[in-house]
Amino acid sequence: MEAVLRLTGVTKRFGALLANDAISLSLQRGEVLALLGENGAGKSTLVSIIFGHYVADAGSVDVFGATLPAGDPAAALAAGVGMVHQHFTLADNLTVLENVTLGTEPLWRMRSQIAAARARLTEISSRFGLAVHPDAPVGTLSVGERQRVEILKALYRGARILMLDEPTAVLTPQESERLFATLQQFVASGLAVIFISHKLDEVMAVADRIAVLRAGRLVADVARASTSKAELAIHMVGREIAPAPVRSQRPPGAVVLQLEDVHAAEAGQPPLRGASLSVARGEIVAIAGVAGNGQATLADLLFGLVHASSGSLRLHGVAYSESPRAVIVAGVARVPADRRGLGSIGELSLWENAAVERVRTRQFARAGVLRRAQMRAFGRDLVRRFDVRGPGLPDGSGLDAPAAQLSGGNLQKLILGRALSIERGAADAGRLIVADQPTWGLDVGAVAAIHARLIAAREAGDAVLVISEDLDEIFALADRIAVMNQGRIIETRAASQWTLAELGLAMAERRAA
């Protein structure tokens, strides 16, 4: 076997964070190598160094025996390295063919070689079974199709090493299966693939060899045949994973949140087009769906950021509030998906962020003057109760540090803690908790902590609505699963009544608008 890619001692620091620590690794021709690791383990940094987005502090990258110049994506492309990013880099208003050829043609040639390009694209797409219409505008394609265009783009440029960064994050289970089959075809024809993932199942399904990263270090490099999921999990986390918290079997109580045929539109987001849903006390309802089917608008509606244009939206039987402040006053606990953009104010201190939602209540202000001592005490207490960790926490100067310095998991604990500190409304009616992608991008420890809090809230009689793109999370949390598709809730069943395949089909289903 010949090594097509060889990493030697690649090291990269971001400030205090050692993202890659002397990583040496090689990729053989005709092989799928999975880079496995938790979020933040250094996988994306490593491929970004290979592709030339980042410059390594030390170490070298050799492709087909020649050392790549550092920090030069054009050189990496020319050497045959192709990259499919997690977030697509396509122009929506151009066609598939235009997107694929964009940047490959010299500027000074007046006539583009469109016929030749079309023939080449058609040849590549039929060779690998990547069917897309060359003249379809990219804006009209589904997410799975767009990913195919990204892959075609890399192949069109002559990639012989293809790197895919968390390619299944945006796909339904069926689309993922299809992608895996395509990858098998690639390696059969002599390409090599690096496949980044934090999901054990798909790594075991697709990879020939698995490299596990943990906290920037390469902790395992094993053939798939000689390992197991359990072993990989221990490598990945560095310890045994705590079992999921126990939950009682009990019927849900009174309905807390009720949506009937709700329409809502938000600039730049797919709209809600007649969503109906209910969440009762003592249950967790999870919204499953492929990203971009109206979940973001639903979340913002419940956060008070957008208003319903029609339909009925009720909390404890009364009309839902229409501003963030009123929603907070109504006792809704809110956890947004965008922790840094929406959930926290990075420049303000931890204690200011802890108190910000209720800064005008009598608890934290009198006659327009802040009660800073109360705010600080509240922040300190919250940091303790929710195990928010960082330098100088819980007892040192960390409370005054800007919230931006917290890691994602600890920031999320702070936001969740703030949300759950909102008092339950009058006469113990049960709170509504709305959590949008509550564990997106978090490590296993933080995920477990946040899931435990949500389940504890359910046990205490709260009504919990979780919106998630992570099906593992949905099955771990939900009592009932509702599938969202094109702005509607198309089906709701008890979690035990769904299989993964059925859920995937419902998510992918295309209906007439």
Interacting residues toward other proteins by CB under 8 A: 14-16, 55, 70-71, 303, 305, 323-325, 327-328, 334, 336, 341-348, 352, 356-360, 365, 368-370, 372
* Best CA proximity match to 162, nearest among 188, 189, 206, 194: 194
* Min separation Cβ 415 and other proteins, Å: 10
Q: Is 429 helix (H, G, I), strand (E, B) or coil?
A: coil
Smaller CB distance to other proteins: residue 346 or 445?
A: 346
* Min separation Cβ 29 and other proteins, Å: 31
Smaller CB distance to other proteins: residue 255 or 370?
A: 370
Smaller CB distance to other proteins: residue 369 or 513?
A: 369
* Min separation Cβ 10 and other proteins, Å: 14
Compute φ and ψ for 394, nearest 5 degrees.
-90, -10
Eight-state DSSP code of residue 239: S
Smaller CB distance to other proteins: residue 57 or 177?
A: 57
- Per-position b or e across 18-27, b if 16+ CB within 10 A of its CB: bbbbebebbb
Cβ pair 427, 314 in contact under 8 A:
no
* Best CA proximity match to 297, nearest among 286, 283, 309: 309
Name the packing angle between helices 444-459 and 229-237 (round to 10°). Answer: 100
Smaller CB distance to other proteins: residue 192 or 301?
A: 301
Count how many residues are written for the chain: 513
Cβ pair 277, 320 in contact under 8 A:
no
User: Pairing relation of β-strands 209-214 and 217-223?
Assistant: antiparallel
E strand or H helix at 209, and its extent? Answer: strand 209-214
* Min separation Cβ 38 and other proteins, Å: 23
* Min separation Cβ 440 and other proteins, Å: 17
Sign of the Cα torsion 93, 97, 102, 105 reads: negative
Smaller CB distance to other proteins: residue 40 or 504?
A: 40
User: Tokens at residue 444, please?
Assistant: 């296993």
Smaller CB distance to other proteins: residue 372 or 384?
A: 372
* Min separation Cβ 19 and other proteins, Å: 12
DSSP structure string for 194-249: EEEES-HHHHHHH-SEEEEEETTEEEEEEEGGG--HHHHHHHHHSSPPPPPPP---
Query: Cα(312)–Cα(272) distance, rounded to whole angstroms?
Result: 13
* Min separation Cβ 296 and other proteins, Å: 13
* Min separation Cβ 287 and other proteins, Å: 19
Cβ pair 137, 119 in contact under 8 A:
no
Smaller CB distance to other proteins: residue 14 or 501?
A: 14
